[in-house]
Structure 1
Amino acid sequence: MAQKRSEVRRRSGAGPGPDTGIEAASRSRIGNGALVCGLALLTVLVVFLDVRTGNDLRVVPLLVVVPALASVYCSLRQTIWVAVWITTVVVGFRVGADGTFWDFVFGIGFAVLACALGVAACAARIRHATEMARLRSAAVTLQRQILRPLPVVTDHVFAHGLYEPIEEDRFVGGDIYEVVESPYGTRVIIGDVQGKGLAAIGAGFAAIAAFREAAIREPTLTGVVEALEDAVVRHNVFSAQTGETERFVTALVLGFDGSGRVEAVNCGHLPPRLLHDGRTSAVTLHRTYVPLGLAGLSREARTTESFDFPRGATLLVVTDGVTEARDAAGDFYPLDERIGSWAGHGPRELLDALHVDLEDFSGGVRRDDVAALALRRATADGSGRPGAADEAALRVAAV
């Protein structure tokens, strides 16, 4: 059960707990053994040079720069230990050196001050890193609370998902998705908010909240999109009043009514991919409209178009965190080439293969959120329902 719960957390973007980043912020990048060996070797080398140069050039006082270097890579405890060691070595050699009383006082004072500054710099670095980790954790937790855990089964589709938010210093991105069952069928949205950070999450929440309400209330898919447009515009007005940057949202809105066709309104998003009978193809959407929040810049009213969605087919929709992932050479991820070999996979297996291949391609280095939905028709005979493994995942996700 614990293994299944962990697997479901990974698939739904749950990830590690919020304390993980905070603990990592104060963790040393250098092991204690390596630090002791390196410090001992450096001390012996500097002492040897000091003995060889004699009173003409004292080298030992140069050791006071070591705590400053340690403050960048070591924990606070390690930096304090380094500072105490360096202070002891410098004071010991200063006591045995020739010079006036004031030479001794100023030499010792400078060594103590330099070591103390190194410790203070380390404490400040760890405090700043901890604050950043807390903010990242809060942002990621907030974003995960906004987005629905997947998989989801409705009367019309089975939706499995892959979601991994980026957790770099610029904070999380603004990928969104939702699946809502309504009196008019199942409505699905996947989108990407311009920019990153808490402001992007706020815009994403405005779009998601509007979609959840409009998907149930509006009888037409264009009505849903109009409600989303109004919500993003209102959010931008509020953002402008509070000094935040206005943002737009690229989105693909889909409607499933139990027939063999899917309605779609594409607001500047990537087109879906259809996997069926061992073949893959990009769904051709003839009209791509401006992103949500920018309708005032276009005179063209958004309308729906439809495409076939056969039984047993899987519809894959992704954000640009997938298509714009790069390898070490800077090349973009070739999604259409890679998914061809997974055309026979079910939704869950498809996303598993995509996740593994994407990690291998990018070397684990991500520059944006990764979000993907794999959708399959749910039919009256149950052929579109999830398998036993997926049903187990659903039960664990509900715990």
Structure 2
Amino acid sequence: MALAVGTGLMLHLRRVMLREVRQAREVAVAAQTLLLRPLPARIDGLATAAVRLSADRGASVGGDLYEVIATEHGVRVVMGDVRGHGIAAIGTVAAVLGSFREAAHDETELAGVLARLDRALARHLRGRALAEDIEDFVTVLLMEITPDGALHALNCGHPWPYRLGGGRAEQIAYAEPLPPLGPFPLPVDLSATPCGHLLPGEALFLHTDGVEDARDTQGRFFPLPAALADAVRGRPISPRSVLRAVFTQLLRHTAGRPKDDIAILILRNDRVTRAAALRGAGNCAISHTRPAVGGPPIGPTA
């Protein structure tokens, strides 16, 4: 009798615990869905495609973040990676995204946007340090795409994006990033890095370091440049097709179990303006010789 009662009690407690875990996960997923709202298919003339994958098996929450906002200063983009992953990272994601959504409209310069993010993150991390006795940081990439396609960026410890076009994939810059936000103060003199132009039909491929750092069973890193070159070779750039091709290769490389959170964001310039058309026509004759910003192109040059 006592054994039957004990067994029944254990089964009841197990059901209660599973129900609480399931409810907590559902709340976390709902919270992150509100934070990382699905992007519209088009934002101010830019076609979009994006994906996130949490490293926590069975979870859909993580520490990677992105947002794209059309402002009077141009389209502004943030991509970031919070130290750690899973439910614990959601508060930091909220602090960064909340600040960006306000500052992207308010600040004339990207430097002002980054300063606002830094202050918001510092307030959040001070509260967490007092409560949990931990230190944290966030890698952040800020980008601005003006109406004529000019690219400017501020990079704090994040991987540089790739420009896709003409059958090639090339990093937009090779400059050493600033340190991640959190542990160190921002430089006093802060200015965005010019990264050329995004011509009509070209696309930006933004990602978190979980993509390049993904390893196979033998410890080899995912060959992102080769995957991108293969995805754009000999065909028009479709954000969804590129996303599907790269993501499929990445999952195959990791046997479907990446060890870190992953986020990918692709933006294609679908704007057709007189200035862009003239610039595109002028670049067509020399596109096979256009150098990458600070380094060689990746992929075929024909």
Q: Report the TM range for the smaller structure's normalisation.
A: 0.7 to 0.9
Aligned to 1:70: none
Q: What is the DSSP-based 3-state SS (H/G/I as helix, E as strand, rest coil) of the residue aligned with 1:222?
A: helix
Q: What are the equivalent positions in structure 2 for 1:158-307 lying under 5 Å apart?
A: 158-168=47-57, 172-243=61-132, 245-296=134-185, 299=187, 301-307=189-195
Between Structure 1 and Structure 2, whose CA radius of gyration is higher?
A: 1
Moved more, 176-185 or 325-334: 325-334
* Cα gap change, 1:212 to 1:152, in 2 (>3 Å): farther
Cα deviation code 1:55-81 (max 9, x no counterpart): xxxxxxxxxxxxxxxxxxxxxxxxxxx
Deviation at 1:300, TM superposition (A): 6.1
Q: What is the DSSP-based 3-state SS (H/G/I as helix, E as strand, rest coil) of the residue aligned with 1:163?
A: strand
For the residues of structure 1 that align with 2:151 and 2:14, how far apart are their CA atoms?
A: 53
The one-letter code of the counterpart of 2:239 is P
Tell me which of the two structures has the higher relative contact order, counting C-alpha pairs closer than 8 angstroms and 6 or more residues apart: 2
Q: Does 1:372 align with 2:264?
A: yes
The one-letter code of the counterpart of 1:335 is L
CA contact (8 A) 1:230 1:293 kept: no
Q: What is the DSSP-based 3-state SS (H/G/I as helix, E as strand, rest coil) of the residue aligned with 2:194?
A: strand
* Cα gap change, 1:333 to 1:115, in 2 (>3 Å): farther
Moved more, 260-269 or 149-158: 149-158
* Cα gap change, 1:287 to 1:222, in 2 (>3 Å): farther
Q: What are the equivalent positions in structure 2 for 1:1-399 lying under 5 Å apart?
A: 113-114=2-3, 117-168=6-57, 172-243=61-132, 245-296=134-185, 299=187, 301-308=189-196, 309-343=198-232, 344=235, 345-380=237-272
Q: What is the DSSP-based 3-state SS (H/G/I as helix, E as strand, rest coil) of the residue aligned with 1:158?
A: strand
Gaps of 5+ in 2: 278-302
The one-letter code of the counterpart of 1:355 is F
For the residues of structure 1 that align with 2:32 and 2:113, how far apart are their CA atoms?
A: 22
Aligned to 1:84: none
* Cα gap change, 1:322 to 1:122, in 2 (>3 Å): farther
Judging by fraction of residues, say which structure has more strand.
2
CA contact (8 A) 1:289 1:302 kept: no
CA contact (8 A) 1:171 1:198 kept: no
* Cα gap change, 1:242 to 1:366, in 2 (>3 Å): same
Deviation at 1:171, TM superposition (A): 7.9
Q: TM-score when scaled to structure 2? A: 0.81
For the residues of structure 2 that align with 1:116 and 1:171, how far apart are their CA atoms?
A: 37
Moved more, 332-341 or 218-227: 332-341
Deviation at 1:291, TM superposition (A): 1.2
CA contact (8 A) 2:136 2:183 kept: no
Deviation at 1:250, TM superposition (A): 0.4
Give the number of equivalent residue pairs.
272
* Cα gap change, 1:153 to 1:170, in 2 (>3 Å): closer
Deviation at 1:301, TM superposition (A): 4.0
* Cα gap change, 1:256 to 1:156, in 2 (>3 Å): farther
* Cα gap change, 1:327 to 1:114, in 2 (>3 Å): farther
Over aligned residue pairs, what C-alpha RMSD do you find?
2.6
Cα deviation code 1:306-325 (max 9, x no counterpart): 11222211110011222222
Q: What is the DSSP-based 3-state SS (H/G/I as helix, E as strand, rest coil) of the residue aligned with 1:250?
A: strand
Deviation at 1:338, TM superposition (A): 1.3
Cα deviation code 1:9-30 (max 9, x no counterpart): xxxxxxxxxxxxxxxxxxxxxx
Gaps of 5+ in 1: 1-111, 385-399
For the residues of structure 1 that align with 2:188 and 2:220, how far apart are their CA atoms?
A: 35
Moved more, 203-212 or 314-323: 314-323
Deviation at 1:162, TM superposition (A): 1.3
For the residues of structure 1 that align with 2:8 and 2:226, how far apart are their CA atoms?
A: 53
For the residues of structure 1 that align with 2:41 and 2:229, how far apart are their CA atoms?
A: 25
Cα deviation code 1:86-142 (max 9, x no counterpart): xxxxxxxxxxxxxxxxxxxxxxxxxx5556544544443343233222212221221
Q: TM-score when scaled to structure 1? A: 0.62
- Aligned-residue sequence identity (percent) comes to 33
Judging by fraction of residues, say which structure has more helix.
1
